[in-house]
């Protein structure tokens, strides 16, 4: 059985606005779980509560109510033990620019008691293409190199769960694909937030949508699609005339509408349960291809939020 590494129970965080009696609910009874070895993505617009959630899970903030467990340890009650389980990479990279890349990695390895760290630093820097830059001050690094170094640090620490807040923010496509590749290959439990839907889509096993502090949906991309998508669109490619099929389908009550597009018909079903009924009808015709029209994570995001 796969253990839950991160669990939250009615986690709530309320900020009081200065000088006003108004309160901002940053997190509203958030219940989540992340399994061991899973890459979990948290998606939401600006101010949705993503960073607050990460800050609470990494002991940087206290929740107003509710609680969170990291590997079974209560984060608020036992922060020191929790700190042994987590690594954090914020979008600002958390690097000391005035010392070298090697000194940055060495410092974190030493405070996290990583054995044989010089060898490990050398290996990971080679893997990330940073070996020639290790003895340079970080202030001389490009944004992509800083992000690579920050990711090196997070992976070197080898914690039970790594929290990555916007790991690809402001980077070019080449670096993004490099970082996606490294995160995927790390085989670690990763909890990440991102605005970049394509990154989350490529990386995450499961995603959660958060807005105004509330978790709106959680699951795999397909789960969420099923949950929110009442009407589904099927693309049917047919050899020969489509008219007979079109007229037969038009008589069915489970069909919403049919769009004629070159060799294909795009059939909108009122609900997913009618999919088998459609297949029965299609069986009578020389159908070449039947494919559900894919919704991107971005489409889902816009539908949910």
Partner 1 sequence: MISKEAIKNNISQILAITEKDIKLRLRFKYKLIFSFISPIISIILPLIIMGKFFEFNDNFGPWDSNNYIVYIFLAYNIMQLQKIINRYQLQFSQEKFWQTLPGLLIAPFNTYYLLIGIFLSYLILISIPLIIFFIICFVFFPISFFTVLSIIFITLLIALIFSGLGLILGIFAISNENFSPILGFGLGLIFMASCLSFPFEIFPLFIQNIINLNPLYHIFHFYRLVWIEDNIIFSISSHLVSFLVLIGSAIILPYIGVIIFNKIYKKYGIVGY
Q: Identify which of residues 96 and 285 has a Cβ nearer to partner 1 in the complex.
A: 96
DSSP states along 224-262: HHHHH-SSEEEEEEESS--HHHHHHHHT-TTEEEEEEET
Minimal distance, residue 106 CB to partner 1, in Å: 8
Q: Identify which of residues 60 and 302 has a Cβ nearer to partner 1 in the complex.
A: 60
Q: Identify which of residues 103 and 298 has a Cβ nearer to partner 1 in the complex.
A: 103
Where in 36-136 does DSSP place strands (E)? Answer: 39-43, 65-70, 73-74, 86-89
- Restricting to residues 92-151, which ones interact with partner 1 according to CB under 8 A? 92, 94-99, 103, 106-108, 110-113, 137
Q: Identify which of residues 99 and 305 has a Cβ nearer to partner 1 in the complex.
A: 99
Minimal distance, residue 198 CB to partner 1, in Å: 26
CA distance 250 to 98: 70
Give the β-pairing of 206-211 and 214-219: antiparallel
Judged by CB under 8 A, how many residues of this single chain contact partner 1? 29
SS (H, E, C) 152-205: HHHHHHCCCEEEEECCCCCCCHHHHHHHHHHHHHHCCEEEEEECCHHHHHHHCC
Q: Which residues contact 123 (CB under 8 A, 6 or more apart)?
A: none
Q: Is 88 in the site for partner 1 (CB under 8 A)?
A: yes
Minimal distance, residue 121 CB to partner 1, in Å: 14
Query: What is the per-residue binding string for partner 1 in 44-73, x denoting contact by CB under 8 A?
Result: -----------x--xxxxx-----------
Residues that bind partner 1 (CB under 8 A): 55, 58-62, 79-80, 83-84, 86, 88, 90, 92, 94-99, 103, 106-108, 110-113, 137
């Amino acid at each position: 059985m796969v253990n839950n590494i991160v669990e939250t129970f009615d986690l709530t965080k309320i900020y009081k606005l200065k000088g006003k009696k108004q309160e901002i609910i940053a997190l509203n009874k958030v219940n989540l779980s992340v399994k061991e070895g899973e890459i979990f993505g948290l998606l939401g617009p600006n101010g949705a509560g993503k960073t607050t959630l990460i800050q609470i899970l990494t002991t940087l903030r206290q929740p107003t109510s509710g609680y969170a467990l990291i590997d079974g340890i209560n984060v608020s009650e036992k922060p020191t033990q929790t700190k042994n389980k987590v690594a954090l990479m914020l979008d600002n990279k958390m690097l000391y620019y005035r010392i070298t890349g090697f000194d940055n990695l060495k410092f974190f390895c030493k405070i996290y008691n990583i054995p044989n760290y010089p060898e490990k630093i050398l290996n990971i820097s080679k893997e990330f293409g940073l070996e020639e830059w290790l003895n340079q001050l970080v202030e001389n690094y490009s944004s992509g190199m800083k992000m690579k170094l920050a990711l090196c640090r997070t992976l070197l620490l080898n914690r039970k769960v790594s929290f990555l807040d916007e790991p690809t923010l402001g980077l070019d496509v080449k670096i993004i694909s490099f970082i996606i590749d490294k995160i995927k290959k790390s085989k670690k439990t990763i909890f990440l937030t991102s605005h970049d839907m394509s990154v989350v889509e490529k990386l995450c096993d499961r995603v959660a949508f958060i807005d105004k502090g509330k978790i709106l949906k959680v699951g795999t991309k397909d789960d969420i699609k099923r949950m929110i998508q009442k009407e589904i669109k099927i693309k049917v490619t047919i050899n020969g005339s489509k008219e007979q099929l079109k007229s037969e389908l038009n008589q069915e009550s489970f069909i919403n509408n049919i769009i004629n597009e070159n060799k294909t018909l795009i059939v909108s079903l009122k609900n997913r349960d009618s999919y088998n009924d459609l297949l029965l009808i299609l069986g009578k015709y020389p159908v070449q291809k039947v494919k559900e029209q894919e919704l991107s994570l971005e489409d889902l995001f816009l539908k949910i939020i």
